């Protein structure tokens, strides 16, 4: 047998082996399918199992506990003592044994405070009261200066000599005066430019001062009103820097000359308009008027 025949036989063997292997695999699948179907059919033919009805376990336990508790004897509760009475008796016995308290004799507190205040006040230095200006003199000077500012009356140069003019002492409004009559009225000189009826027909040729009125507008502000004979009214306003106490210093408030405030226990006087705080470095407008005294301290 040559190699060609051997190769043919080998090829045929391999082909037969593949066929046998395929047949074996197919046989195994068919057997497995037959077994599965047989088991499924056998299981389907089995009767349904009968499950016995179980009792209510919770109800059984509850009944057993209830029966056990019913068989227990009733507990004997011992009689308790009166706790409140025991506590009251104990407190009363302790209080009865306490000694009577000794109350020390207290000093006269009011007298002690009065003595301390009196001693502290006695140690305070005498306050330096700033010298106040003469308000009446200031008002008189202001009035005098205001009157001095009014213009001098201008008397016409033409006409008769003043000595030749006859002046009526006043104007009687119930009387009629002829044209050319001169009379004094409200501090001025008036001339009749026509026959008069009451005050109609009169004209003021020399203005005078009919009245002066001084009114206080604010704490330091005064207004002087000068009423002239012609009816014109001139007003002048002036301020007098009198001293007024403004209570404790308030930050941010503007103070005027003459205001006084309390700050840090001392009294301060304002010399010019300012919002600065008294006593601090660089502040303007304040002068120490009354210095703070020593603080009151407890004495043994």
What class does CATH assign to 243-290?
mainly beta
Under 8 Å between Cβ of 256 and 242? no
**pLDDT (tens digit per residue) in 124-163:** 676 665 666 676 777 778 777 766 765 565 555 555 555 5
User: What is the pLDDT, as a whole number, of residue 255?
Assistant: 93
Complete DSSP assignment for 27-49: HHHHHHHHHHHHHHHHHHHSPPP
Helical (H) or strand (E) element with 111? helix 109-123
- In this prediction, residue 130 carries a pLDDT of 60
d(Cα 117, Cα 109) in Å, to the nearest integer? 12
Domain ranges of the chain: 135-151+160-239, 243-290
pLDDT on residue 156: 53
The confidence score (pLDDT) of residue 166 equals: 78
Q: Measuring CA to CA, which residue among 173, 166, 174, 227 is closest to residue 191?
A: 166
CB neighbour class for 255 (10 Å; exposed up to 12, middle 13-18, buried from 19): buried
Candidates 12, 237, 57, 2; CA nearest to 139 is 237
Give every CB contact of residue 181 below 8 A, 6+ residues apart in sequence. 168, 191, 192, 196
pLDDT for 253 equals: 93
User: Which of 155-193 are b and which e, b meaning 16 or more Cβ less than 10 Å from the residue's Cβ?
Assistant: eeeeeeeeeeeeeeeebeeeeebeeebbbbbbebbbbbe
Q: Give the tens place of pLDDT for each residue, 271-290.
A: 999 999 998 888 888 999 99
Structural Rg of the chain based on CA atoms: 65
Q: Which two tokens stand for residue 99?
A: 């000694």
Question: 241, 217 in Cβ contact below 8 A?
Answer: no
Predicted TM-score of the model (pTM): 0.33
Tokens 């010399």 correspond to 271
> Residue 49: what pLDDT?
72
Name the stretches of the chain with pLDDT < 50.
300
The sign one gets for the Cα dihedral 52, 58, 63, 65 is positive
Q: What is the β-pairing status of strands 221-228 and 200-206?
A: unpaired
Confidence at residue 297, expressed as pLDDT on a 0 to 100 scale: 61
The total number of residues written for the chain in this structure: 300
């Amino acid at each position: 047998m040559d190699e060609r025949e051997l190769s043919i036989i080998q090829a045929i063997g391999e082909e037969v082996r593949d066929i046998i292997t395929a047949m074996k695999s197919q046989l195994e699948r068919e057997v497995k399918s037959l077994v599965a179907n047989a088991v499924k059919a056998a299981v389907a033919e089995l009767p349904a199992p009968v499950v016995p009805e179980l009792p209510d376990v919770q109800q059984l336990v509850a009944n057993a506990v209830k029966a056990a508790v019913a068989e227990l004897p009733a507990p004997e509760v011992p009689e308790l003592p009166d706790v409140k009475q025991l506590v009251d008796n104990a407190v009363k016995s302790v209080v009865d044994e306490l000694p009577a308290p000794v109350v020390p004799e207290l000093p006269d507190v009011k007298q002690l405070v009065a003595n301390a205040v009196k001693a502290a006040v006695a140690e305070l230095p005498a306050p330096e009261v700033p010298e106040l200006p003469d308000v009446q003199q200031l008002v008189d000077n202001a009035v005098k200066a205001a009157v001095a500012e009014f213009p001098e009356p201008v008397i016409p140069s033409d006409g008769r000599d003043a000595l030749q003019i006859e002046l009526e002492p006043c104007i009687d409004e119930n009387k009629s005066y002829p044209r050319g009559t001169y009379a004094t009225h409200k501090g001025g000189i008036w001339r009749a430019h026509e026959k008069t009826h009451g005050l109609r027909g009169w004209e003021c040729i020399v203005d005078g001062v009919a009245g002066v009125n001084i009114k206080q507008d604010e704490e330091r502000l005064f207004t002087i009103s000068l009423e002239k004979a012609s009816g014109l009214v001139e007003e002048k306003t002036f301020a007098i820097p009198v001293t007024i106490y403004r209570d404790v210093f308030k930050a941010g408030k503007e103070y005027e000359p003459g205001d006084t405030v309390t700050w840090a226990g001392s009294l301060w006087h304002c010399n010019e308009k300012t919002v600065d705080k008294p006593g601090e470095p660089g502040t303007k407008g304040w002068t120490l008027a009354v210095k703070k005294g020593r603080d009151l301290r407890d004495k043994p």
